[in-house]
């Protein structure tokens, strides 16, 4: 598969390509329930950066190997760090390079199982979340004397509301996939871990079939509202920052031309 630059070769996760336009990242530390250590955070940051820069890749999917999506931080490593009065190392994009990521292209989480702590922090900032019916979610940090400091606290309230957010982060209780879907924390619940990945790839394929320019700019518009910008300010920033670039691209011309000519559009890789 030709790439502009070679894909990363991470130690703690595996990369596959279900289609030429979809990147599937699988956390691969099943014996540690896919907990992420310092090296893993920086690896994942590099993967998402590569995806955003690689013209042919349009959507990313993240899942886990084995019975866990991600159990959060590597607590053994974290304990050593805290006992020596040092700070754990994370990239500016947060836990797994995702919990505080802004980015350019969408990431879908296929939550195949247990999703706790930092795993939940990644899910909070994902663009779409598909979960196995056996998956469950939680922020157990308070039970260990630590805090979900990687970005989720200020974001989860925007998804589930103040009272539900407080319940999750102050009690540490586990929330089932069905309950999480009812709260709006999860888009869709499916029957099994395998189905969660399959469904996530299906949705990724639907996104990838659309104009890559329009996907990038539409995602940016939703993010502006998500990040607390007022509706009118967000619209103004989107128009001023993106509309001219969108209109100058080939994909908007191709999409409208294809509609008039009654055919499927042939998208080009985004140059945004």
Q: How far apart (Å, rounded) are the C-alpha atoms in residues 269 and 58?
A: 8
Residue 260 in this model has a pLDDT that exceeds 80: yes
Q: How far apart (Å, rounded) are the C-alpha atoms in residues 62 and 84?
A: 32
Task: Find the catalytic residue in 68, 71, 73, 208.
Answer: 73
Task: Find the catalytic residue in 66, 72, 97, 118.
Answer: 118
Task: Find the catalytic residue in 65, 77, 121, 220.
Answer: 121
Q: Domains of the chain (ranges plus CATH)?
A: 13-208 (3.90.226.10), 212-260 (no CATH)
Q: How far apart (Å, rounded) are the C-alpha atoms in residues 267 and 258?
A: 10
> Crossing angle, helix 162-171 and helix 153-160, to 10 degrees?
130
Q: Are 54 and 211 in contact (CB under 8 A)?
A: no
Tell me, yes or no, if 73 is annotated catalytic. Answer: yes
Cα 111 to chain center, whole Å?
11
Task: Find the catalytic residue in 141, 148, 180, 234.
Answer: 141
Of residues 247 and 6, which shows the higher confidence score? 6
Token representation of residue 218: 């539409």
Of residues 140 and 75, which shows the higher confidence score? 140
Which of the four pLDDT bands, split at 50, 70 and 90, describes residue 83? Answer: low
Q: In degrees to the nearest 10, what's the CA dihedral of 56, 57, 58, 64?
A: 170
Tell me, yes or no, if 141 is annotated catalytic. Answer: yes
Across residues 85-105, what is the average pLDDT? Answer: 86
Q: How far apart (Å, rounded) are the C-alpha atoms in residues 226 and 134?
A: 29
**pLDDT digit string, tens, across residues 125-140:** 999 999 999 999 999 9
Tell me, yes or no, if 194 is annotated catalytic. Answer: no
13 Cβ contact list (under 8 Å, min separation 6): 25, 26, 27, 28, 40, 43, 44, 47
With a threshold of 0.85, does the pTM exceed it?
Answer: yes
Task: Name the strands in the sheet holding 175-176, side by side, starting at the edge strand that comes first in the sequence.
Answer: 68-70, 114-116, 136-138, 175-176
Residue 27 in this model has a pLDDT that exceeds 90: yes
Burial of 250 (0-12, 13-18, 19+ CB in 10 A): middle
Across residues 117-129, what is the average pLDDT? Answer: 97
Which of the four pLDDT bands, split at 50, 70 and 90, describes residue 218? Answer: very high
Phi, psi of 55 (to 5 degrees): -55, -35
């Amino acid at each position: 598969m030709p790439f502009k630059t070679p894909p990363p070769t991470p130690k703690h996760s595996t990369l596959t390509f279900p289609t030429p336009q979809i990147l599937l990242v699988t956390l691969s530390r099943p014996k540690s329930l896919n907990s992420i250590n310092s090296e893993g955070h920086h690896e994942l940051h590099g993967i998402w950066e590569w995806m955003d820069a690689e013209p042919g890749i349009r959507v990313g999917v993240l899942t886990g190997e084995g019975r866990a999506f991600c159990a959060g931080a590597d607590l053994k490593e974290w304990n050593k760090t805290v006992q020596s009065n040092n700070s754990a190392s994370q990239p500016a994009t947060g836990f797994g390079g995702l919990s505080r990521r802004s980015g350019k292209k969408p990431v879908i989480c296929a939550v195949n199982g247990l999703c706790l702590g930092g795993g939940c922090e990644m899910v909070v900032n994902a663009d779409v979340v598909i979960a196995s019916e056996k998956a469950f979610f939680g922020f157990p940090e308070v039970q260990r004397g630590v805090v979900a400091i990687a970005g989720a606290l200020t974001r989860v309230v925007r998804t589930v509301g103040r009272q539900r957010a407080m319940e999750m982060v102050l009690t540490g209780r586990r929330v089932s996939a069905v309950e999480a879907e009812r709260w709006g924390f999860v888009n869709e619940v499916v029957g099994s871990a395998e189905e969660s990945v399959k469904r996530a790839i299906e949705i990724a394929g639907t996104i990838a079939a659309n104009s890559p320019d329009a996907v990038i700019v539409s995602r940016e518009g939703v993010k502006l509202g998500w990040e607390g910008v007022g509706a009118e300010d967000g619209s103004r920033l989107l128009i001023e920052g993106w509309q001219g670039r969108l209109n100058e691209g080939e994909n908007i011309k191709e999409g409208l031309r294809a509609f008039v000519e009654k055919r499927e559009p042939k998208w080009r890789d985004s140059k945004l």
